[in-house]
Structure 1
């Protein structure tokens, strides 16, 4: 599921040109509300569903298709698999033309598509689809101005991956439970002969900082009246940065003006002289690159042992196109696609499902650590302009480098001003 995890880092596709999308579209039933499945007949109708390459776990699409077509005889589910590269303009066109009914969208992209009229408001259908049990911190990514525009499908997040062999030589027998224990362990790891870095952590790992900010109850930005303001000059942001700086100080080779992408963390870690990294599943070396029995995982600890540090929750939502002529059919598709059986397949593939009750179905050492952090996770601000903040030059990355190498207050103010400028820009 590598591609789904690449999407999860939150690099949003360009979301433009949807203003004329589907506002006058007709459907086969009410845009709001659902009737019972027994009263519905979708015979002869085809539902077009777009999924992104690598997202659906093996067997999920077939299981959902079979269940739907059995429940509604004569109906047909038609999947199209899309690539993440260049998906923004393609989605824009499809939503405008009404050529897709249900589509997977990255959770940081959802607000943009919703704001410009591309996605159907499913607020009144949320309970019928199963939304009463959705994790609030996942569902948040699909809510704009108090309305639900998509259903959460899955998320993933970063965890600490460590070299068991090196940690064993350091005399560490169990993962740390608090940040202070983690710092102490990193000092022990650094003392192991041949170790170049106790933790490889470049200075611009802003998603790690985001999680720490979430732990402190802070936000990268928030609404003040009808305007957005940056949140990096707040006491919560300062506390989060103090933790971030303490972690980053244990990294000798991680450049303060670089991020985790160049070089890729997995390539650095696979060399065998790095004690640990904080990364996503696709940032972990493959079996061919590094024996899996040499890698252990734990959630980034919190300040106290009862709660892990916060994380950024990256993943995908399932949405219905506003212009769909099969909106009732699409709602029933979501109900089946997200039921416990099919959502359980997502958990069994190593992602975090959309409801707490399915956590015991999560499989894999990485995912087991990730689900502990996910409980304290959050998402970036739900505004259609958020993608512009992540665009280079990313002011949060520049803030981290500036604060690590100079004056925190000055770096925070500069970033806050730029974040507010981008978020308040007219679309």
Structure 2
């Protein structure tokens, strides 16, 4: 099961249905590894369950061992459940692995704890010119680089092609206005069914909200020296929240306003055949197909539209970074391993497996699947959440963005009150 939606949360793996290239130019990491000196001992690598395919890691580890006679790769697959504590223990001890995959929102926490190696001087060797921008930012802390982008996924609008055709919608929406117009047409065609939803949109789906806030030129927080200042009360953030409410009210969604996309699982709702659209990742369609196997052939996707016609809105990039613990016993070998994994050969295999590659701008390996192709194109306009070491507290605790959405959508708070209260709560979590 690919962890696309789990990784979309980064540090706090969200319990949803999962969803989830050849480099051109720059240094070829494979060449660097092949000329590396011989060594002795073991290189321990921890990757997460559902990330790199077995065919990739088997070939990668063999190539690395062949290039480093006397070195054995001890490859271990880790589970997301409980990984935060396991990583904390390993990184603070004297017997840490040499290469570790971490969620992109986990990286600043470990970097701030002074347990990761500074990779700033190795960026060029690791194909740095082609790193995926959103993941690149998540691997940086206080001006230094600690994480190498591994892979990512992002959301798009998944829709029923047959319903669009029946409603007279000939092309996917390319702007917010066209999106709202499509909703109107869908409701006119299918609205006599009391269970129909033109767009299923949960009230607390804050990952989708980010796209609208960013599209309005706003943000949820900005760096303020070595700390962060919440900006949920800014004009851009307010405008994004207003559009979210407009979309909820226009769509006829029956999703709860006090819960997120996991409760109930939105892919299951889509699979029920009464929703024409939802915002999700490509792999969620496989979950929907468990309810209705025919839905796969009926499904298409388009990028989350911008308010500017012909553009897509920025999207939240969830995914993983690769790091080297500060107490790794062989930093040089660990870097060689990253050089090989971040090179064109293995990045292309990641793309063919359905992931947006982290260290390559060539996403042609995703073209074979129309939904993944849309995701890959949208990823170029991807962003990360604030790189606060305390961001995990936002996702694992009382999330101010969720509270803000519910309060505003239900009318319990005005726009100004909801954003002001959420801003104060977010400042308490990440402001220090």
TM-score, length basis structure 1: 0.90
Q: CA deviation at 1:215?
A: 2.1
Alpha carbons of structure 1 residues 3 and 189: separation in structure 2 relative to 1, 3 Å:
same
Structure 2 equivalent of residue 187 of structure 1: 184
Mapped contact 2:132–2:361 kept (Cα < 8 A): no
Inter-partner Cα distance in structure 1 for 2:415 and 2:217: 19
Among 400, 403, 409, which residue is 2:408 paired with? 403
CA drift at 1:122: 0.5
Given that 1:202 and 1:251 are in contact with CA atoms closer than 8 Å, whether structure 2 keeps it comes out as no
Of 159-168 and 350-359, more deviation after overlay is shown by 350-359
1:138 to 118, 132, 135: 135
State the Cα distance separating 1:226 from its structure 2 match: 4.8
Contact 1:63 1:342 in 2 (8 A): no
| 1:392 to partner: Cα distance | 3.0
Equivalent residue for 1:154?
Answer: 151
Long gaps (5+) in structure 1: 14-34
Mind listing any 5+ residue stretches in structure 2 that lack a counterpart?
14-30
Q: 1:53 to 1:12 in 2, by over 3 A?
A: same
The answer to whether residue 65 in structure 2 is matched with residue 69 in structure 1 is yes
Are residue 422 (structure 1) and residue 429 (structure 2) matched? yes
Shift of 1:55: 0.7
Distance (Å, rounded) in 2 between the aligned partners of 1:39 and 1:407: 63
SS in 1 for 2:222: strand
**What's the counterpart of residue 385 of structure 1?**
390
Secondary structure of 2:378's counterpart equals helix
Question: Alpha-carbon deviation of 1:173?
Answer: 2.1
Match of 2:357 among 353, 356, 359: 353
Q: Is the 8 A contact 1:95 1:321 kept in 2?
A: yes
State the 1:103 CA deviation.
Answer: 0.5
- Count of equivalent residues: 404
Summarize deviations over 1:334-386 as a string: whole Å, max 9, x none: 00011011001111111111245312222422211112221221111001111
- My pick for the range that moved more, 150-159 or 50-59, is 50-59
Larger deviation, residues 354-363 vs 161-170: 354-363
Match of 1:197, SS state, is coil
Q: Trace 1:311-326 onto structure 2 (pairs within 5 A).
A: 311-326=315-330
SS of the equivalent of 2:123 reads helix
Indicate yes or no: 2:120 matched with 1:118: no
Query: How much has 1:94 moved relative to structure 2?
Result: 1.3
Report the Cα offset of residue 204 of structure 1.
Answer: 1.0
SS at match of 1:343: helix
| CA drift at 1:112 | 0.6
* Equivalent in the alignment of 2:19: none
- 1:36 positional shift: 6.2
Q: Which residue of 2 aligns with 1:215?
A: 215
- 2:27 corresponds to which residue? none
Q: Secondary structure at the match of 2:244?
A: helix
Closer/same/farther in 2, CA of residues 115 and 297 from structure 1, 3 Å limit: same
Residue by residue, what CA displacement relative to the aligned partner does 1:377-426 show, whole Å, maximum 9, x if unpaired? 1111001111112233211011112222231111111111111111135x
Matches within 5 A, 1:155-304: 155-193=152-190, 194=193, 196-249=196-249, 250-284=251-285, 285-290=287-292, 291=294, 292-304=296-308
Residue by residue, what CA displacement relative to the aligned partner does 1:140-183 show, whole Å, maximum 9, x if unpaired?
Answer: 00000010001001110111111222222212222111111111
Could you say if the C-alpha distance between residues 55 and 226 of structure 1 is closer, same or farther in structure 2, counting changes exceeding 3 Å? Answer: closer
Given that residues 310 and 378 in structure 1 are in contact (C-alpha distance below 8 angstroms), is that contact kept between their aligned partners in structure 2?
A: yes
Are the aligned partners of 1:214 and 1:377 in contact in 2 as well (CA < 8 Å)? no
- Match of 1:51, SS state, is strand
Q: Which moves more between the two structures, 279-288 or 145-154?
A: 279-288
1:366 aligns with 2:371: yes
User: What is the distance in 2 between the residues matched to 1:343 and 1:371?
Assistant: 14
CA distance in 2: counterparts of 1:227 and 1:383, whole angstroms: 7
Query: Structure 1 residues 39 and 356 mapped into 2: Cα distance closer, same or farther (>3 Å)?
Result: closer
Q: Which residue of 2 aligns with 1:94?
A: 90
The verdict on how the C-alpha distance between 1:138 and 1:389 changes in structure 2, with shifts beyond 3 A counting, is same
CA contact 1:213–1:219 (8 Å) conserved in 2? yes
Given the two structures, how large is their TM-score scaled by the length of structure 2? 0.89
Does the residue aligned with 1:108 lie in a helix, a strand or coil?
Answer: coil
Per mean C-alpha deviation after superposition, the further-off stretch among 321-330 and 254-263 is 254-263
